[in-house]
Amino acid sequence: MTDRLTLWELRVLDTLLAERSLTRAALTLRISQPAVSKVLARLRRRFDDPLLVRAAHGMETTRRALALQPHVKDLLRVAKGLDAPAEDFDPHSSDRLFRLFISDVGIVRLLPQVMRVLQTEDCKVLLHAVQIDPERLPAKLEGGDIDLAIGPFPALGRTVRRQRLFTEGYVSVIRLDHPRLPANPTLAAFRAERHVVVSAYEAPHSHEELDRLLTAALPQANIALRVPGFVAAAMVAKYTDAVATLPQRVGTMLAEELGLQLVRPPLALPRVPIGLFWHERSHRDPANKWLRAVFNRLFTETPGRLKATES
């Protein structure tokens, strides 16, 4: 009784109990009759019962075999279900809630276009944009609390996959009737102005390199205000003489929406890769694949896809 049954043996047993004939069972299974006999012999030893016995008109099942038959069918049905393909995802009928880790810049720059697609294509899915300490992001992705992260994250672990969407530069904005600063200022003129700088207080910030470079390049007395978000910085620039330096795409959009003037910052500022990040556990999930495809369709500048990070 210690021998373990295989799915193949269960399938042979199910066929034998249905056909009650070694010959017909062999034809159904497309194997030889001796092969069926060999499996039947193993099954008889395993259950300590003949299972099938000869009768006047073929073979009949024993009481033990009749008791086993429904359980064998159930096991085979479950096993077949394991081989079934993953269910398709229909965004037009699904009310699934996706949790996205995305900054205020991403919310302003990307989510309106995503929502427009969902509206135009009559999708029923729901989105929840959340902001957490980036150091907690790998664990949140792994645990399924975050479905997709969008932003500049250099290293999130070996089990996190990624796809680059675009590369982001920086631009400064000022109010249209700014009394001094031109569109292409000198470094001295730029440094002489009062600035509003986006800076995290304690938690790491996605654009902390910009914060570091501006803090090093500008006189401390001219960093008039620090705020936690780029949209807030743009609003301050609209109503004061302060200069706000923002990611290029959102800066360009806010300049048009708020009536601001674009300024080329005379500093060597980095270009930041913006990408999608998801955990290996979600890689083959049809719903997650659909959402990634929406972002890919809207925002990818180059078709290159990167494998899970090796760092």
Residue whose entry in the numeric block shows the structure tokens 């301050």: 236
- Asked if 135 and 206 count as a contact pair (C-beta separation under 8 A), the reply is no
Over residues 105-133, the mean pLDDT reads 93
Instruction: Tell me the domains of the chain and their CATH numbers.
Output: 7-82 (1.10.10.10), 97-167+273-299 (3.40.190.10), 170-263 (3.40.190.10)
DSSP string computed for 254-300: HHHHHTEEEE---S----EEEEEEEEGGGTT-HHHHHHHHHHHHHH-
pLDDT score of 205:
63
Instruction: Tell me the backbone φ, ψ of residue 283, rounded to 5 degrees.
Output: -60, -40
Distance between CA atoms of 303 and 296, rounded to whole angstroms?
Answer: 9
Over residues 60-68, the mean pLDDT reads 90
pLDDT score of 81:
72
pLDDT score of 311:
26
Indicate if the alpha-carbon torsion angle 164, 170, 171, 173 is positive or negative: positive
Token code pair at residue 200: 């995290």
Residue 125: is its pLDDT beyond 90?
A: yes
pLDDT in tens, 215-246: 999 999 999 999 988 999 999 999 999 999 99
Instruction: Kindly report the pTM of this predicted structure.
Output: 0.67
How many other C-beta atoms lie within 10 A of the C-beta of residue 143?
11
Residue 305: is its pLDDT beyond 50?
A: no
Token code pair at residue 45: 């030893």
Residue 309: is its pLDDT beyond 70?
A: no
Over residues 303-309, the mean pLDDT reads 41
Residue 186 Cα distances to 190, 217, 227, 266, angstroms: 6, 13, 25, 6
Distance between CA atoms of 128 and 131, rounded to whole angstroms?
Answer: 10
Instruction: Tell me the backbone φ, ψ of residue 298, rounded to 5 degrees.
Output: -85, -35
pLDDT score of 177:
94
pLDDT score of 304:
45
Residue 110: is its pLDDT beyond 80?
A: yes
